[in-house]
Structures are given as C-alpha cells and as structure tokens.
Structure 1
Amino acid sequence: MPEPPIIKNWAGMTISAATQEVETLSWSESYGRIAAQLASHRPSLYPTEELDDLTSLKIAKLPIEGFTGERRSYALAVKAGLLLLNESLDEAHELAQELPTREGSYLHGIMHRMEGDYPNAAYWFRMAGGHPAQEVWSGKIREKLAETGNDEFGTASLTARIREWAEHGSFSAAGFNELVELQVTRVRNERVEQWLMELQYAELDVLLQHCYAHSGGGGLWFEPR
C-alpha cells in the first residue's frame, strides 16, 4: 500500500516540522512567536476564511499542559484570541465555549460579531459585562478618533453614530458591535472598514495582553506593531 501523502503548508514545510518547534518552546516563547507573526495582520470585520491554516495548527500546539485553574482558563483565552487574529472562527468558537469566564464571553462575542451574528454577539458582550481590558481599549479608540479630527466617516449618519459613541466616554463592545453591523450590512465604506478593522485589532490586542499576563506570561513584554 502506498504511503499517504505528507501534507505541506504554503512554504513547503511539513506540518509536523512546523509545529514541532512550538511544542518544544516555553509558553512565553511560543506565544511571542505566534503573536509576532500575526502582529501586522488586521482581521476582517467579516472574514470568510482563515488567514493561514498552519498558524491555526501552531496555536493548537501551544504548550499549556500542567496549567490548572485560572491560569489554564487565561491560557485558553489567549489561544482563542490568537485564533480570532488568524480568522479561525470555528476553532476560536470551540475554545470560547469551554470558558465560563468574562474573557470567554468577550471572545465568544467577538467571534459571533466576526461571523456576522450581531444579536448573538450582543448577548455575549452583555454576559462579559464591563471587562477591564475595555478601559485600555478606550484609550486606543480616543487616539484613533483624534487622528481623524473632524473628518466624516463615509456617511453623515455613520459619522453621527461614531461621534455619539465617542462622546459617551465609555467605548463598550456592545456599541462597537452596532457600528460594525452598520458598516457591514449598510454603509460598506472602504475608509470606515479600515478604521473599524484597526479598532477591532486594538480590541483583540488589549484583551490578548490582559489574558497573557494573567496566564503566567508575566508583564506585557510583547508590543505588536
């Protein structure tokens, strides 16, 4: 009987060879390498396929054996967040469902928002409540708004919604969910799309760093580009 073909990734490296390195590294080293690989990518608001299937496999191999209790929960949340950056929605969903925590609910909401199920996303954002990562995210949003000045966001109605959201001073995931839904289903403005994608990346970035720090990874030593 002929040997089964060896599955290779886009670079021609066997999957076993590509994932072996991850398995031999520490939690911090393996997280850092995968996070650095994804740092320049801005996930779509409504992805239709994952960015790279090999990266998804590497994330699955992140070493969390021996992690227990809260540390394991935060480590699983890190893996789910990395999967969302890689636009691996199904895999991220599976992990989020295992997490009866605020982080799990928040990630669950982001996953449903990215798949276009905005009512379900809103439910999970309510379950997450006011997550502490949102305060850091708010600072990044204010920076982005300051960069735009008095520019309009595609349409007058969307501009009004964004400015209203900003003036409240509390940048909630639920409010962002509504803005993304408006853009994806009605406005479809390219400039708005890019702006919201940057905010989505910032949201995942601060949530990932929060979870990584609580997983035993130490301080926020890794700063994505």
Structure 2
Amino acid sequence: MYKALTSIAERLESRQPLQALMPKHAWDAALEQQIEDLPLITAATPRADLPALIALKAGLHLLNESLAASHAHAQEIEDDATGCYWHGIMHRMEGDFSNANYWFHMAGAHPAMQRLQERSADWVRNSTILNDLPDGAIRDGLAAIARQARWNASAFTGMISLQESGSVSEESRGALEYLQHLELTELFAHTQQAARHAIV
C-alpha cells in the first residue's frame, strides 16, 4: 500500500500543467479511483490516526483537482486544522471565496503556512514576476507577500477572486497558479508527515 501511495503522490507532485485556480474536472479520472481505493483506513486503525489519514485522502484528491471527492473527506474532519485548510482550498478552487475564507479562519495559523510564506516571499523577491506584471491589485498583492511575516490565505483568495473575475490581465494567472502550487506542496508535505506513522 505504501508503494501505491508513493507512486500516486509522486505523479501528482510532478504533474504538468499545475493545478488550475478553478478546475472544471479531475486532472486524471482514473487516478481519482486509485486514490479512493487506497486502503489507508481499516477497522484496526486507531481513532487518533483517523484525521491525518482522512486529510491525506482529501489532499491527494485536491492535487488531482477532484473537488467533490476532496470535499467529502474534508467534511469528515472539520475539527482538524489540516482538514480545515484542505477544505478552504477546495472551496476557493470551486469559486466559493467567502466559504474558503471561513475555513482558512478555522484552520488558524497552520504549521504549513510558515514554510509556504518563506518560499513564496523568496520566489517573489528573487524572480522577475513583479517587473513582468502591469501595475494593479495583483502586482501589489504579490509585493505584499514579499514583505509580510505570515501567509495570508484570505489575501491570496482575494487575488484569485480578482483574477477569476476577468477584470485583470491574464498575465498574472501563471504567478497565482505557481503560488497555489507552493501552497498545495507545503500543505501536502505537512499532511503526509502527520500521517506517516499511521500508514502501514
């Protein structure tokens, strides 16, 4: 089972193109079933391990852009910070931005956000992205990421909402997709680490 999980995770983490800001369907329909069939939870699974294992499935599904499947798992662990964070990203990807912000608030200062902030700020500072984009709210939001001390999930949601409204240049879409990729990568790394001891 660990080999199957590793194979699925590696495929999703190295996929091209990156996850869309608002995907319309699963990236790989066959992979959706493979994820669901992973025997992560059995009758012998300790109750304390359930949130981490359920979050792992929610994360795998979201990396595959299987929004409904991810949502079903995230709803099982609404009192878990990692489950709340996956839940928020799922709602953001479906375009329900206010609901996304609610779940980001419930996730709180999630541990994955620190590394995400560091990587995001480093990328904005050391890439040419700010020079490549026209003046406006998205460029300003990216510049704020380079300065802020903590990841602001609601501000990022605002940038994606603006992008999806069609009122800004498509030039910024790639930058937002890359930042979302960093977010998904860091949250999945945290989720996988939390579940590692429970995977047999």
Structure-2-length-normalised TM-score: 0.88
Q: Which amino acid aligns with 1:103?
A: T
CA distance 1:90–1:188, shift in 2 (3 Å): farther
Q: Match for residue 20 of structure 2?
A: 44
1:149, 1:86 → 2: CA distance? 27
Q: Which runs of 5+ in 2 are unaligned?
A: none
> 1:197 Cα deviation (Å)?
0.9
**2:111 alignment partner, one of 128, 132, 140:** 132
Q: Tell me, yes or no, if structure 1 residue 108 matches structure 2 residue 79.
A: no
- Whether the 8 Å contact between 1:70 and 1:215 is mirrored in structure 2 is no
1:210, 1:192 → 2: CA distance? 28
> 1:156 Cα deviation (Å)?
2.6
- Whether the 8 Å contact between 1:141 and 1:199 is mirrored in structure 2 is yes
1:78, 1:160 → 2: CA distance? 34
Q: Which amino acid aligns with 1:195?
A: A
- Whether the 8 Å contact between 1:111 and 1:121 is mirrored in structure 2 is yes
1:158, 1:108 → 2: CA distance? 24
Q: Which runs of 4+ in 1 moved over 6 A?
A: none
CA distance 1:96–1:202, shift in 2 (3 Å): same
1:94, 1:136 → 2: CA distance? 27
Q: Which runs of 5+ in 1 are unaligned?
A: 1-25, 219-225
- Whether the 8 Å contact between 2:130 and 2:142 is mirrored in structure 1 is no
Query: Could you list the per-position Cα deviations for residues 138-167 of structure 1 after superposition, in whole angstroms to 9, with x for gaps in the alignment?
Result: 122023202126414344332122213432
Deviates more, 1:149-158 or 1:192-201: 149-158
Q: Match for residue 81 of structure 1?
A: 59
Q: Match for residue 60 of structure 1?
A: 36
Q: Match for residue 3 of structure 2?
A: 29
> 1:214 Cα deviation (Å)?
1.3
CA distance 1:61–1:188, shift in 2 (3 Å): farther
Over alpha carbons, which structure has the higher Rg? 1
Q: Which amino acid aligns with 1:214?
A: A
Query: Could you list the per-position Cα deviations for residues 158-217 of structure 1 after superposition, in whole angstroms to 9, with x for gaps in the alignment?
Result: 212221343222222122111111111144533311111111111111111111111125
Query: Could you list the per-position Cα deviations for residues 3-24 of structure 1 after superposition, in whole angstroms to 9, with x for gaps in the alignment?
Result: xxxxxxxxxxxxxxxxxxxxxx
- Whether the 8 Å contact between 1:113 and 1:177 is mirrored in structure 2 is yes
RMSD of Structure 2 on Structure 1 (CA): 1.8
1:162, 1:94 → 2: CA distance? 32
Number of equivalences:
192
- Whether the 8 Å contact between 1:155 and 1:187 is mirrored in structure 2 is no
- Whether the 8 Å contact between 1:75 and 1:215 is mirrored in structure 2 is yes
Q: Tell me, yes or no, if structure 1 residue 122 matches structure 2 residue 96.
A: no
Query: Could you list the per-position Cα deviations for residues 58-79 of structure 1 after superposition, in whole angstroms to 9, with x for gaps in the alignment?
Result: 0001121233233221111111
Structure-1-length-normalised TM-score: 0.79
Q: Match for residue 94 of structure 1?
A: 72
Q: Tell me, yes or no, if structure 1 residue 151 matches structure 2 residue 131.
A: yes
Q: Tell me, yes or no, if structure 1 residue 174 matches structure 2 residue 154.
A: yes
